[in-house]
């Protein structure tokens, strides 16, 4: 079988996008296609307009699979790539449209400068919805190898553990990311963000993504980090988030019921044909 695909990236967080084909095991296919030695290489596989997600209430839908075959509810960099893919392939005929995801409806908008602004919905702060089993989800302690971190559990449709530090965020993500991902207080595991505050309007962030490991960027993680910073009165309502692959602009007014907005780029890398045996 020949599968036509497009490789895309958002700040170096890379994805394989393909139109839905009935009868494929996409979890298994993601592992093969995303392999950086024996496959195309990517952080995830995005399947556009799967039959079980199509609805008259939205313009387009998706499933996204991590490189290990697991399926997250949401991905910020991935949704920007999906938006560009859909517009470039004329799957939608407008610049602002709705996408059905496992999180719910998400609304990206392609701006005049080519960047994509996404209404990511309101953050999820209730412990049972994150889900998080600890007593408090803001400023709780995590002790690892004689290190004690103050962490914040927040969901943007997928769980995040945000930790503010003064030292090397990349090193900490590499050393502690996997263990925190599997912390028993996160029954669905968690993404892990180490964040250094530069000012009330700018942060540096490194991420260990659930199901992927270290990646160059994480859109939902950037949103969760800014939400955590605002809730702790560390950040203002509009923040530049510097990641290894580039920068995102995150906006949130601090009202728990208000949506978080994410703005950033998405790029097409190449297209090709995958031969599935």
How far is residue 259's CA from residue 119's CA, in Å, rounded to a whole number? 6
φ, ψ for residue 12, nearest 5 deg? 85, -10
Catalytic residue among 81, 161, 212, 218: 218
218 annotated active-site: yes
Nearest to 130 by CA among 77, 87, 74: 74
User: Which residue's entry shows tokens 């540096």?
Assistant: 204
Question: Residue 138 belongs to what H/E stretch?
Answer: strand 138-144
Give the angle subtended at the CA of 266 by the CAs of 219 and 161, to the nearest 5°: 10
Catalytic residue among 75, 81, 161, 212: 75
Question: For residue 253, what are its two tokens?
Answer: 């007014």
User: Considering Cα of 184, then 186, then 189, then 193, what sign does the dihedral take?
Assistant: negative
Nearest to 205 by CA among 258, 268, 161, 236: 161
How far is residue 132's CA from residue 102's CA, in Å, rounded to a whole number? 19
75 annotated active-site: yes
How far is residue 155's CA from residue 223's CA, in Å, rounded to a whole number? 9
3-state secondary structure 57-113: CCCEEEEEEECCCCCCCCCHHHHHHHHHHHHHCCCCCCCECCEECCCCEEEEEECCC
Give the angle subtended at the CA of 117 by the CAs of 86 and 196, to the nearest 5°: 125
Show which residues are catalytic: 75, 218
């Amino acid at each position: 079988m020949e599968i036509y695909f497009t490789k895309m990236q958002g700040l170096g967080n890379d994805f394989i996008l393909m139109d839905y084909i009935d009868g494929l095991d996409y979890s298994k296919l993601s592992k093969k296609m995303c392999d950086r030695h024996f496959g195309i290489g990517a952080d995830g596989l995005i399947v556009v307009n799967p039959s079980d997600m199509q609805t008259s209430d939205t313009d387009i839908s998706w499933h996204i699979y991590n490189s290990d075959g697991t399926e997250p509810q949401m991905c910020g960099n991935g949704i920007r790539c999906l938006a560009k893919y859909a517009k470039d392939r004329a799957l939608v005929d407008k610049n602002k449209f709705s996408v059905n995801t496992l999180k719910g409806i998400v609304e990206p908008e392609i701006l005049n400068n080519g960047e994509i602004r996404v209404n990511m919905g309101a953050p999820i702060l209730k412990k049972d919805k994150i889900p998080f089993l600890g007593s408090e989800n803001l400023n709780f302690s995590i002790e690892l190898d004689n290190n004690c971190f103050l962490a914040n559990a927040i969901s943007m449709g997928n769980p995040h553990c945000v930790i503010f530090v003064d030292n090397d965020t990349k090193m900490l993500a590499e050393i502690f990311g996997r263990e925190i991902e599997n912390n028993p207080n996160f029954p669905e595991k968690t993404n892990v963000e180490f964040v250094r505050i530069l000012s009330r309007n700018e942060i540096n962030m490194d991420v260990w993504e659930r199901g992927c490991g270290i990646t160059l960027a994480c859109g939902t993680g950037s949103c969760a980090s800014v939400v955590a910073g605002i809730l702790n009165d560390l950040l203002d309502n509009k923040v530049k988030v510097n990641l290894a692959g580039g920068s995102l602009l995150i906006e949130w007014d601090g009202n728990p019921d208000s949506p978080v907005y994410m703005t950033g780029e998405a790029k097409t890398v190449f297209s090709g044909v995958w031969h599935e045996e």
